[in-house]
């Protein structure tokens, strides 16, 4: 099986749109802003996400972030967002990396592969460490982070703070 990480493009097509409709709008703290969009809204969302990767058009609390798609044999199975750095707020409420896998493609190892590939992108950005915050009930995602050499450094009732060296 060929697995590939691709950066979001404003020309992404129907396959990405369909995937975004499969992945819930909000699940385990991950927000899928492309879910429930019309085709026109999807195009606008792609443009906003592309601009966010350059730090353009961001709300005060936001930082630049890049969106990536994970493809398996040419089929999109999930996506991830990589924040380029952390603000004080994001250090508590978000972290550097968030990711989601299509429901029909879960428990196949794609989350582990995707996080590994996003960590390669973080290395290219020269990030020394990245933070992943995960809800305590999301054991699959906790396992993904730990398989990628993550260390739980703190836990609260709401989340685990998992740091991964790049």
pTM: 0.95
**CA nearest to 48, candidates 81, 24, 78:** 81
What is 3-125's CATH number? 3.40.630.30
Residue pair 65/91 in contact by the 8 Å Cβ criterion: no
What is the reported pLDDT for 90? 94
Q: Are 133 and 31 in contact (CB under 8 A)?
A: no
Q: What residues contact residue 110 under an 8 Å CB cut-off, 6+ apart?
A: 3, 70, 72, 77, 78, 101
| Residues 39-80 pLDDT 10s | 999 999 999 999 999 999 998 889 999 999 999 999 999 999
In the structure encoding, which two tokens stand for residue 51, read together?
């601009």
Strands 129-134 and 97-101: unpaired
């Amino acid at each position: 099986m060929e697995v590939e990480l691709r950066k979001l493009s404003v020309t992404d097509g129907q396959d990405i749109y369909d995937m975004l409709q499969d992945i819930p709008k909000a699940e385990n703290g991950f927000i899928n802003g492309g879910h429930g969009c019309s085709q026109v809204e999807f195009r606008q969302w792609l443009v906003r996400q592309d601009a966010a990767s350059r730090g353009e058009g961001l709300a005060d609390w936001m930082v630049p972030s890049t969106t990536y798609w994970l493809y398996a044999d040419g089929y999109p199975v999930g996506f991830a967002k990589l924040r380029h750095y952390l603000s004080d707020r994001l250090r508590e409420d978000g972290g550097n990396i968030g990711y989601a896998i299509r429901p029909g493609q879960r428990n196949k190892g794609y989350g582990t592969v995707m996080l590994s590939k996003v960590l390669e992108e973080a290395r290219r950005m020269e990030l020394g460490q990245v933070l992943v915050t995960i809800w305590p009930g999301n054991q699959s995602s906790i396992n993904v982070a730990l398989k990628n050499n993550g260390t739980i450094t703190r836990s609260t009732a709401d989340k685990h703070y998992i740091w991964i060296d790049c």
